[in-house]
Amino acid sequence: MTELKDSYDIVIIGAGVGGGALANSLAAPGREILMIERGPRLPREPDNWSVDAVFHKRKYATKEQWRDRDGQLFSPSTYYYVGGNSKFFGAATVRFRKEDFEDLRHEGGVAPAWPVAYAEFEPYYARAERLMGTHGEAGLDPIEPPRSGPMPYPAIGHEPEIAAFEKKLRARGLHPFPLPIAIDYHDGGACARCATCDGFACKIGAKGDAEVRLVNPALAKGGVTLITESFVRRLVTDPTGRRVVAVELEHGGEVRTVSARIFVSSAGAINSSALLLRSKNDKHPNGLGNNTSDQLGRNYMAHNNTAMMAVSPFRKNRVVFQKTMAINDYYLANAERPYPLGNIQGLGKLQSGMLTANLKWAPERLMALFAERSVDWWLMSEDLPDPNNRVSVDSDGTIRLAYTANNLKAHQELVAVWTRQMRALGYPIVITQKMDIKVSMHQCGTARFGKDPKTSVLDPNCKVWDVDNLYVVDASFLPSSTGFNPSLTIVAQALRTSEHILKELGETVTAAPPVQPERQPVAA
């Protein structure tokens, strides 16, 4: 750790989507920003695209175990690398809908209004889409919110099977639209449009993950130092408890402290809570920033998610890249349904062995036959904030995740409605798998932002109410999970926060020139 200085302007903990976007926005020669990432760079290697390595051997997921509410240990599907969970994400980069920012009544309760309206978020969404390299087509989803401009890149297009499907769905009165997606697939782009995108890491660097689109360009702009394989175990405050003065980090068996003017936790919604809880002291006996609200670690959400395989025994599905379509016809209440059900989107094409990695009862050969003949979907419904769904840290340092799913009736209806649609379209065999606590991919809500310090951990700029120089910019800030993939919104909020941080530092907001991600050679 010889390259590490004792003091920086800003310390960012975690090089995922939130931390990467913040670093990218703040990076400029002359600034002194330190990013601390517990994981290494993910190697580009053949196993990146191996079903066996990724799904059966779980080669890349953390080996760490967490406890559930009852104290049972489980292995979470979470990833500690430069780029964080986005190294394995499906690259759907979707704006939340206008209604998501307002009180939204669900069957199971109300998803609370955000402290910021969609209109204030819009310019940051536009920047976030450009940063991530989103491809899509505006104007086709009836509930799409207003936009200041088109998508940065045109939609990547459906393969013939999905195009035919789209027509049939339209004939049934539905409004499918191209799923906004951040892959480098356009003239001159590096993407090979392969079957190993959603759930896999990209071996050729053509997916818009946080390492490729945010962290590497931030390093190229200047002013940012990244240290990897360095675990931040604690934040240390001054005697008043109002300011963080240092982070304590472990690297290669050594413990170091680093000071800064501003500290940002972007360790992910579960690990940021764990970090702040571990940082308790006599001024913050229940965890850093948890005095006024007692909401730190609470309101954990992760969506009600179901993977669906709709099989036609008589028709092979030759699609390679299937994550191109989404349907929002069930997203809001309407004349037929008094409450929202959720979003439906194409899933990366299921391959032989992917489902059997989790469905141990399923015969491998039969599932392989099904996978050749299936159209696959991801069905996502909102879960609601509940203070009893919470992250805590046990006395032995293990993370405990107490989570009981809610708003399930709406999700079950979404699954039932889509099953009926599939059968009507000639797919009589429908296999579904509801995701459980291990699948924390859409984790959020554990340090929600809000206008009232009594009910929120963060103010509307994502600064911790109880601490003057501490921010949280990962998915923790979400006061509701909505029914959409969170990454684009995390990026947008980090961009908002970066402006506030610059003002705090007494600097004016100057947009540094964008740096394009470097082209990656195709690996062996």
Question: Which positions make up the binding site?
Answer: 232
- Please report which helix (H) or strand (E) contains residue 66, including its range: strand 66-68
Residue type at 18 in one-letter notation: G
> Applying CB under 6 A, does 112 fall inside the site for ligand FAD?
no
Between CA 382 and CA 476, with CA 340 as vertex, the angle to 5 degrees is 20
Beta carbon nearer to ligand FAD, 266 or 406: 266
Nearer to ligand FAD, 430 or 475 (CB): 475
Q: Considering only residues 33, 91, 347, 447, which one is a binding residue for ligand FAD as defined by CB under 6 A?
A: 91
Binding marks (x or -) toward ligand FAD, 63..82, rule CB under 6 A? Answer: -----------------xx-
Q: How far is the CB of 397 from ligand FAD (least distance, A)?
A: 11
Could you tell me the two tokens for 159?
Answer: 């393969």
**Burial environment of residue 143 by CB neighbours within 10 A (0 to 12, 13 to 18, 19 or more):** middle
Report yes or no: 325 and 166 within 8 Å, Cβ to Cβ.
yes
Annotated binding site for FAD: 232
178, 268, 289, 342: which one contacts ligand FAD (CB under 6 A)?
268
Residue 55 lies near ligand FAD (rule: CB under 6 A): no
Q: Can you tell me the distance from the alpha carbon of 178 to that of 93, in angstroms, rounded to the nearest whole number?
A: 11
| Nearest residue to ligand FAD on Cβ basis | 16
- Distances in Å between the alpha carbon of 34 and those of 31, 86, 395, 408, 409? 10, 20, 30, 42, 45
Per CB under 6 A, does 471 bind ligand FAD? no
Does the protein bind ligand FAD through residue 307 (CB under 6 A)?
Answer: no
Q: Decide if residue 36 touches ligand FAD (CB under 6 A).
A: yes
Answer for which of 90, 115, 152, 205 binds ligand FAD (CB under 6 A) is 90
Residue 423, amino acid: R
Q: Which is nearer to ligand FAD, 470 or 475 (CB)?
A: 475
- Count residues contacting ligand FAD (CB under 6 A)? 38
Return the closest-CA partner of residue 473 out of 484, 485, 483, 463.
463
C-alpha 473/C-alpha 457 separation (Å) is 12
Q: Which stretch binds ligand FAD (CB under 6 A): 32-40, 117-125, 164-172, 304-312?
A: 32-40
> Residue 306 phi/psi, 5° resolution?
-135, 130
243-274 burial, b at 16+ Cβ within 10 Å, e below that, comes to ebebbbbebeeeeeebebbbbbbbbbbbbbbb
Among 88, 118, 121, 370, binds ligand FAD (CB under 6 A): 88
> How, if at all, do strands 254-265 and 244-251 pair?
antiparallel
CB of 125 to ligand FAD, least distance (A): 13
For residue 267, which of 8, 1, 17, 6 has the smallest C-alpha distance?
17
3-state class (DSSP) for residue 367: helix
**Cβ closest to ligand FAD, residue 64 vs residue 452:** 64
Site for ligand FAD contains 376 (CB under 6 A): no
| Residue 100 found at the interface with ligand FAD (CB under 6 A) | no
Piece of the chain touching ligand FAD by CB under 6 A; list 89-97, 106-114, 311-319, 381-389: 89-97
Does 84 contact ligand FAD by CB under 6 A?
yes
State which amino acid sits at residue 401: L
**CA-to-CA dists, residue 10 to 6, 375, 522, angstroms:** 12, 47, 35
E-strand stretches of 384-479: 390-393, 399-402, 429-434, 470-472
The DSSP call for residue 207 is: B
466 or 474: whose CB is closer to ligand FAD?
Answer: 474
Q: Which of 15, 202, 430, 492 binds ligand FAD (CB under 6 A)?
A: 15
Q: How far is the CB of 159 from ligand FAD (least distance, A)?
A: 18
Letters for 217-256 (x = contact with ligand FAD by CB under 6 A, - = none) are --------------xx------------------------
Cα separation, 16 vs 163, in Å, equals: 34
Whether 57 contacts 421, CB under 8 Å: no
Residue closer to ligand FAD (CB basis): 21 or 427: 21
**Which span (8-16, 211-219, 386-394, 448-456) binds ligand FAD, by CB under 6 A?**
8-16
Q: Kind and range of the H or E element at 263? A: strand 254-265
Region 428-457 residues binding ligand FAD, contact defined as CB under 6 A = 441-442
- CB neighbours of residue 456 within 10 Å: 22
Over the window 178 to 217, marking each residue x when it contacts ligand FAD by CB under 6 A and - when it does not, the resulting string is ---------------------x------------------
- What is the binding site for ligand FAD (CB under 6 A)? 13-19, 36-39, 80-81, 84-86, 88-92, 199, 231-232, 266-269, 271, 275, 441-442, 474-475, 485-487, 490
